[in-house]
Chains A and B, each alone.
Chain A
Amino acid sequence: MLNYKKIKKSLKEVRDALERLELLEPMLDENSSDASVLKNSRQLSEFTVSVHKLIGSIPDPFLPTMVQSAHAVIESKPSKQLHSAVVSSDVSEDKFQALLKATEDRLRQAIQAELAKIMVADAFAPAPAPNGQIYSDAYTTDDAVRQSEQRLRTIIDSTPLGIVITNEECKIEYVNSAYAQLYGYQPSELIGNSFTMIVPPDKREFWLDLHAKYLAGYKDIRGEWEVRHKTGKPIYILADAARIVGTDGKPKKVTFVSDISELIKLKDEARQSEMQLMQAEKMSSLGQMVAGVAHEMNTPLGFVRSNMDLLVEMFAEMKLLLERYNSLREEILHGSPVSVAQSMAAIEEATQKFTLYKQVDKITQNSIEGLTRIQELVSNLRNFSRLDEADFKPASLNQLLDSTLNIAGYLLKEITVEKHYGDVPNVMCYAAQLNQVFLNLITNAVQAINHDHGKITLSTAREGENIVVKITDNGVGIAPEHLNKIFEPFFTTKEIGKGTGLGLSIVYKIVEKHHGKIHVESERGKGSTFTITLPIGKVVADAESTALFSES
């Protein structure tokens, strides 16, 4: 049975192949280069294949005499001279069939080899011009293979992933369009040049070294890198690479890159705004603390200053009295009885005014007490801030709690504070940060108390390798529906403008940084308990990280 459709299709293919062969023909006459020979041989194979397909599609009885000439084509080494392509021959039908079979196998092998070559060559070739003519010669009999190859190419060219192949000499051999676009170049500007044109100028040595080491197999390229756009502006890429062996048998580096500049920018912005918020919260708690401390400080300053004014007044009174006594003495020695009497009266008057001296003990005593209070306050502030201390070092949580209580003193005037401190070892910590945690929790506890018999209980205890700190109040408690939200940033039950809603989220972060845990138990109307568990940690010798002598 004749399958006309199939024959028609085969015929068309033969005609197309012939056309292409004819197109190539004139090129072969003069100085036929290897490339043109290769191209020709490829075309020839295609033509042969198409002819074979045509023959295959026609049942034996219908085979025309020209098959004999086709046989000759198959016989001849499928290349070299196109002129011999169509030659007549007298080969018997049987022999022809056998030959055809053998040729078919050979062809299949040849085509497969050719296909593999084309694919490698394509991978290295520059991106196709918009009209796609460069690939017009990539014909295969196997539609599936061709399709998959095209699919692959489409994928490579449409992927937003930049792909670049770099050789041992650090020269760029291939880029896909996404890669060229990412850096702002045309593919032709990149291909053939050293890849260092896209790395930061001061990192060139590093990259050349890394490239060599990567190809040698002992360095990785995976990661985030800063590179340079054509305009010189820094861009950020996420890269990964693979080693391949090129058609020339030499190792190449295939690098896949994606632009993460936006991501980095966003991350940066997020980090900055987070820092700003943390700063805002710090300022807000600092503001509250400053308000409290300023008032605490200005109260004793107020009466001490006033007392100094009073002492000045008193000394003025005393001076007046002394002067009058002196003049009395003069009058007694040299004056008249009348002038003595006048002096006596003046002394009497000054004595009447001289009343402050009776209070001098109280004035001085109060002043000294006031100054002591200011002194303590300043030392509390220093203890609390721990500005002059190393960052991460062992500290006593009991002491930290006490210095926080001192600083929060103004809040605790009406509240009973109970301490149940255990005999606990020091904990490796950032003391100033833990103070911030404790101040926040104590402040919250005070704010939760809305009655006259407020009580805050602080306890510390050792549990295995951890210290457990509990801060308990008998305030209003936390609504059950809020319990799982209170450590979230911006969660606040305070009215707008009264709190940033970041306090507890920062507490959480600090505890997390110490590899600790924090949780809360609360009952409406009964109060809340915040429990912090902190690992004791090991004292790390700093000898390893610190040099003895500093560089000059």
Chain B
Amino acid sequence: MPEQVKILFVDDEQKVLESLELVFRDTPIRLATSGDEALKILRAEEISVLVSDQRMPKMSGVELLREAKKISPHTIRILLTGYSDLEQVIDSINTGEVYRYINKPWDNAKLRETVQFAARMYEQQKELRDMSKGIKSSASTSANDTTIDSSIELLFVDKNYEHLRGLKETFSEMRPTHVTADVDEGYHLLETRPIGVVVSDVLLNGFDGADFLAAVKERFPDVVTIMMTSSKDSSVAVRLINEGQIFRYIVKPFPKEAMRSTIDEALRRYVLQKQQPSQNLKRQEQQVATAAVASTSSNSQSLSQLLEEVRQRLAEKKTY
């Protein structure tokens, strides 16, 4: 077995690092007490998982994640923090593209599980990358430059008809755009139409938008999900990270242009994930998980069944 890729822990509190060192005493790890130090390590070594504190002097955890994404895009990013306000949580989604958000104090066993799970995902992605490198030419990775297939459709779910109309007007010129206030209809559309991006409000009629997006991600891991909301709630945002692998969290009201570019980015992500399944953390997560436990989920489920199953799985979940 080749040498395991290292996990990097960053915290300005030495004693936290000392504990983590013992928790991961059987795993190859690196420690850093500041963002700068962490970036130096990221530049010099291959790191599978980056676990960082949020509130640190000079460079915050989110800032570190953002820089880390540039230096080492495949490193899986996790925040382990004592407190973050909503702004920081949203930033961690939108700019840090964080994989997990873990609160201090933490549970050693769960933390170990989550981090090791992420490390396994990293290893798998890497294998997939190496495999596709052999097969495909480098041309296929240029999703950024190519225009996105206009057959990919958009879905907006919101209980506010006014908003739905506005979204329909804005996006239907570009590509087929579905809007609905009915969650079941939205789910049906996902099953029948080639939808690439789902944007949902947090408050839906009789439904929690976060639940809906988590279920969508569970059932359609390739679909890119975006939460839009006018009510800011950091616990919802944290749930969306940990359970829904949310792509973006946007706060109403937002500028039309910002929404356009967010949708563009989401579509690009969708195309990229389709081309390179290794880029899809959720798919990876499911593959790693199914390797451990045989999955029972069938492909034809009603939304309520799916929601129930997702909720149950989350309740039993050992990792964050």
B174 contacts partner chain A, Cβ-Cβ < 8 Å = no
A307 contacts partner chain B, Cβ-Cβ < 8 Å = yes
Which has the most chain A C-beta neighbours within 10 Å: B54, B57, B107?
Answer: B57
Near B by CB (< 8 A), chain A positions 274-320 give 287, 291-292, 294-307, 309-310, 313
Complex formed: what's the CA distance from A104 to B108 in Å? 118
State the Cβ distance, B251 to closest chain A Cβ, in Å. Answer: 11
Complex formed: what's the CA distance from A301 to B83 in Å? 12
Q: Which of A20-28, A46-54, A356-364, A478-486 contacts B (4 or more CB under 8 A)?
A: A356-364
The interface on chain B, measured as residues whose beta carbon lies within 8 A of the other chain's beta carbons, has a size of 27
> In the assembled complex, which residues on chain A have CB atoms less than 8 Å from the CB atom of B58?
414
Q: Mark A349-393, 1 if CB is under 8 A from B, else 0.
A: 000000110010011001001100000000000000000000000
Structural contact, A291 and B25, CB atoms closer than 8 A? no
Which has the most chain B C-beta neighbours within 10 Å: A303, A304, A310, A313?
Answer: A303
Complex formed: what's the CA distance from A304 to B82 in Å? 13
B22 contacts partner chain A, Cβ-Cβ < 8 Å = yes
Given known A309-B108, A309-B109, contact A299–B13 (CB-CB < 8 A): yes
Structural contact, B19 and A310, CB atoms closer than 8 A? yes
Structural contact, B23 and A306, CB atoms closer than 8 A? yes
State the Cβ distance, A312 to closest chain B Cβ, in Å. Answer: 9
A413 contacts partner chain B, Cβ-Cβ < 8 Å = yes
Complex formed: what's the CA distance from A355 to B26 in Å? 11
Q: Which of B98-106, B161-169, B223-231 contacts A (4 or more CB under 8 A)?
A: B98-106
Near A by CB (< 8 A), chain B positions 40-84 give 53-55, 57-58, 80-83
> In the assembled complex, which residues on chain A have CB atoms less than 8 Å from the CB atom of B148?
none
Structural contact, B23 and A305, CB atoms closer than 8 A? no
> In the assembled complex, which residues on chain A have CB atoms less than 8 Å from the CB atom of B105?
298, 301-306
Structural contact, B22 and A310, CB atoms closer than 8 A? yes
Pick the contact of A302: B54, B57, B106 (CB < 8 A).
B106
Structural contact, A298 and B19, CB atoms closer than 8 A? no
B20 contacts partner chain A, Cβ-Cβ < 8 Å = yes
Interface SS majority for chain A: helix
Structural contact, B57 and A298, CB atoms closer than 8 A? no
> In the assembled complex, which residues on chain A have CB atoms less than 8 Å from the CB atom of B81?
295, 298
Structural contact, B18 and A362, CB atoms closer than 8 A? yes
B85 contacts partner chain A, Cβ-Cβ < 8 Å = yes
Structural contact, B19 and A296, CB atoms closer than 8 A? no
Structural contact, B19 and A306, CB atoms closer than 8 A? yes
Complex formed: what's the CA distance from A272 to B310 in Å? 47
Structural contact, A303 and B18, CB atoms closer than 8 A? yes
Near B by CB (< 8 A), chain A positions 430-471 give none
Complex formed: what's the CA distance from A106 to B263 in Å? 104
> In the assembled complex, which residues on chain B have CB atoms less than 8 Å from the CB atom of A300?
15
Structural contact, B82 and A307, CB atoms closer than 8 A? no
> In the assembled complex, which residues on chain B have CB atoms less than 8 Å from the CB atom of A410?
55
B289 contacts partner chain A, Cβ-Cβ < 8 Å = no
Q: Mark B2-26, 1 if CB is under 8 A from A, else 0.
A: 0000000000110110111011010
Structural contact, B19 and A303, CB atoms closer than 8 A? yes
Structural contact, B13 and A298, CB atoms closer than 8 A? no
Complex formed: what's the CA distance from A49 to B123 in Å? 124
Near A by CB (< 8 A), chain B positions 92-125 give 103-109
> In the assembled complex, which residues on chain A have CB atoms less than 8 Å from the CB atom of B82?
294-299, 301-302
> In the assembled complex, which residues on chain B have CB atoms less than 8 Å from the CB atom of A313?
108
Closest to A353 in B: B26
State the Cβ distance, A128 to closest chain B Cβ, in Å. Answer: 60
Structural contact, B57 and A303, CB atoms closer than 8 A? no
> In the assembled complex, which residues on chain A have CB atoms less than 8 Å from the CB atom of B23?
306, 309-310
State the Cβ distance, B7 to closest chain A Cβ, in Å. Answer: 16
Complex formed: what's the CA distance from A299 to B55 in Å? 10
> In the assembled complex, which residues on chain B have CB atoms less than 8 Å from the CB atom of A295?
54-55, 81-83
Q: Mark A232-245, 1 if CB is under 8 A from B, else 0.
A: 00000000000000
Structural contact, B108 and A291, CB atoms closer than 8 A? no
State the Cβ distance, B195 to closest chain A Cβ, in Å. Answer: 34
Structural contact, B57 and A306, CB atoms closer than 8 A? no
Given known A303-B16, A359-B22, contact A310–B108 (CB-CB < 8 A): yes
> In the assembled complex, which residues on chain A have CB atoms less than 8 Å from the CB atom of B19?
302-303, 306-307, 310, 363, 366
How many cross-chain pairs have Cβ atoms below 8 Å apart between A and B? 79
The interface on chain A, measured as residues whose beta carbon lies within 8 A of the other chain's beta carbons, has a size of 31
> In the assembled complex, which residues on chain B have CB atoms less than 8 Å from the CB atom of A414?
57-58
Which has the most chain A C-beta neighbours within 10 Å: B54, B103, B104?
Answer: B104
Closest to A452 in B: B58
Closest to A411 in B: B57
State the Cβ distance, A392 to closest chain B Cβ, in Å. Answer: 34
State the Cβ distance, A1 to closest chain B Cβ, in Å. Answer: 90
> In the assembled complex, which residues on chain A have CB atoms less than 8 Å from the CB atom of B54?
295
Which has the most chain B C-beta neighbours within 10 Å: A287, A294, A295, A355?
Answer: A295
State the Cβ distance, B17 to closest chain A Cβ, in Å. Answer: 9
Given known A366-B15, A366-B19, contact A413–B104 (CB-CB < 8 A): no
Q: Mark A507-519, 1 if CB is under 8 A from B, else 0.
A: 0000000000000
> In the assembled complex, which residues on chain A have CB atoms less than 8 Å from the CB atom of B12?
413
State the Cβ distance, B231 to closest chain A Cβ, in Å. Answer: 15
Pick the contact of B13: A287, A291, A303, A362 (CB < 8 A).
A303
State the Cβ distance, A399 to closest chain B Cβ, in Å. Answer: 27
Complex formed: what's the CA distance from A301 to B58 in Å? 23
Closest to B54 in A: A295
Structural contact, A306 and B55, CB atoms closer than 8 A? no
Complex formed: what's the CA distance from A304 to B81 in Å? 15
Structural contact, A369 and B15, CB atoms closer than 8 A? yes
Closest to A288 in B: B85
Complex formed: what's the CA distance from A295 to B57 in Å? 13
Pick the contact of A303: B15, B55, B83 (CB < 8 A).
B15
Closest to B88 in A: A291
> In the assembled complex, which residues on chain B have CB atoms less than 8 Å from the CB atom of A363?
19, 22
Pick the contact of A306: B25, B85, B106 (CB < 8 A).
B106
> In the assembled complex, which residues on chain B have CB atoms less than 8 Å from the CB atom of A306?
16, 19-20, 23, 105-106, 108
State the Cβ distance, A287 to closest chain B Cβ, in Å. Answer: 8
> In the assembled complex, which residues on chain B have CB atoms less than 8 Å from the CB atom of A362?
18
Near B by CB (< 8 A), chain A positions 314-362 give 355-356, 359, 362
Given known A306-B23, A355-B25, A359-B22, contact A301–B104 (CB-CB < 8 A): yes
State the Cβ distance, B292 to closest chain A Cβ, in Å. Answer: 22
State the Cβ distance, A291 to closest chain B Cβ, in Å. Answer: 5
Pick the contact of B83: A298, A309, A359 (CB < 8 A).
A298
Complex formed: what's the CA distance from A108 to B83 in Å? 95
Complex formed: what's the CA distance from A299 to B17 in Å? 11
Structural contact, A309 and B107, CB atoms closer than 8 A? yes
> In the assembled complex, which residues on chain A have CB atoms less than 8 Å from the CB atom of B53?
299
Q: Mark B133-177, 1 if CB is under 8 A from A, else 0.
A: 000000000000000000000000000000000000000000000
Complex formed: what's the CA distance from A305 to B80 in Å? 14
Complex formed: what's the CA distance from A100 to B137 in Å? 136
Structural contact, B57 and A366, CB atoms closer than 8 A? no
> In the assembled complex, which residues on chain B have CB atoms less than 8 Å from the CB atom of A294?
82-83
> In the assembled complex, which residues on chain A have CB atoms less than 8 Å from the CB atom of B103?
298
> In the assembled complex, which residues on chain A have CB atoms less than 8 Å from the CB atom of B18?
303, 362, 366
Complex formed: what's the CA distance from A362 to B55 in Å? 25
Complex formed: what's the CA distance from A313 to B22 in Å? 11
| Selected A-B contacts with CB under 8 Å, 9 pairs | A291-B83, A295-B55, A297-B82, A298-B83, A299-B53, A302-B82, A310-B19, A310-B23, A356-B25
Residues of B within 8 A of A (CB): 12-13, 15-16, 18-20, 22-23, 25, 53-55, 57-58, 80-83, 85, 103-109
**Closest 4 A-B residue pairs measured CB to CB?**
A298-B82, A302-B104, A305-B105, A309-B108
Besides A296-B82, A298-B104, A363-B19, 10 new A-B residue pairs in contact (Cβ under 8 A), listed by A number: A291-B83, A298-B103, A299-B13, A302-B104, A303-B19, A305-B106, A309-B23, A309-B109, A310-B108, A359-B22
